[in-house]
Amino acid sequence: MRRIERIAHGGSTIHILPVIRGLTSEVEPVRKAFAEVKPDLMAISLCKEELDGLRRLPSDYEPELSRYDEIYVTGLARYGEVAAPPPCYVAAVEIADSEKIPVIPIDVDEESYTELYCASISGSALFRDSTRTWLLRKRAFSADTAEEYVTKFDRAVNNMRGFRRIEDERVDWMVRELLKTTGKAKDPLAVVEYERAAEVAAGLSHEEPS
């Protein structure tokens, strides 16, 4: 079972479960974490709009993949079956709903993300990004595990300053949202994408209880 990071804050313990978006095998770690933690609140690294969309998926849902998503999925498929929307999030919502546990989104909302993107990514960065996408399609990521693959892919995608700034802001946002849960729950469980989970845990550890 993948290691759960636990951060005590005030009278609560925030449990962070790193998950790999896309792999169907990630459903089992979510189930095991829920059984182990027995959370009174579920947090997931989706924005409000994504969570709402996940709850209203049509039966004939067909995912719209970005260029990066297409490259990511192609590489990730070497490590197991891939599905959309991410099975880890689908499972988290379904389990929480079945147990009548509140589910909260902790990622940056769409409007704020758009503002952040426009402030962080220059025209020259957009040009370099289009070239980088072409190079990524031809790059073979040598990795023995899915965890190693998503880490290397994340580094390749977010190695430019503007993109790294966006990810840093996302981490700060998720930390703030998770800190709000400590006033609502004693044992919140946060299902967070593997690439950001350690950073979120580190951010929480550096926060002093109010």
Question: Smallest Cα–Cα separation from 171: which of 121, 205, 148?
Answer: 205
Band the pLDDT of 113: cuts 50, 70, 90: very high
Band the pLDDT of 209: cuts 50, 70, 90: low
Residue 112 has pLDDT above 80, yes or no: yes
The pTM of this model reads 0.93
Band the pLDDT of 200: cuts 50, 70, 90: very high
Which range, of 31-35, 89-93, 109-113, 162-166, averages the lowest pLDDT?
162-166
Residue 132 has pLDDT above 80, yes or no: no
pLDDT greater at residue 94 or residue 138: 94
Q: Which strand (E) or helix (H) includes residue 92? A: helix 87-98
Rounded to the nearest 10 degrees, what angle do helices 161-181 and 110-120 cross at? 150
Residue-level pLDDT at 144: 96
Phi, psi of 44 (to 5 degrees): -135, 150
What is the signed CA dihedral for 63, 66, 72, 77, rounded to 10 degrees?
A: 30
Residue 41 has pLDDT above 70, yes or no: yes
Residue-level pLDDT at 96: 97
Residue 122 has pLDDT above 70, yes or no: yes
Query: If you average pLDDT over residues 174-184, what whole number do you get?
Result: 94
pLDDT in tens, 44-83: 999 999 999 999 988 778 888 888 889 899 999 999 999 9
Token pair for 131: 């070239």
Question: CA 121 → CA 69, 111, 125, distances in Å?
Answer: 19, 16, 6
Residue 137 has pLDDT above 90, yes or no: no
Band the pLDDT of 28: cuts 50, 70, 90: very high
Query: In sequence order, what are the residues at sequence separation of 6 or more whose Cβ sits closer than 8 angstroms to the Cβ of residue 97?
Result: 103
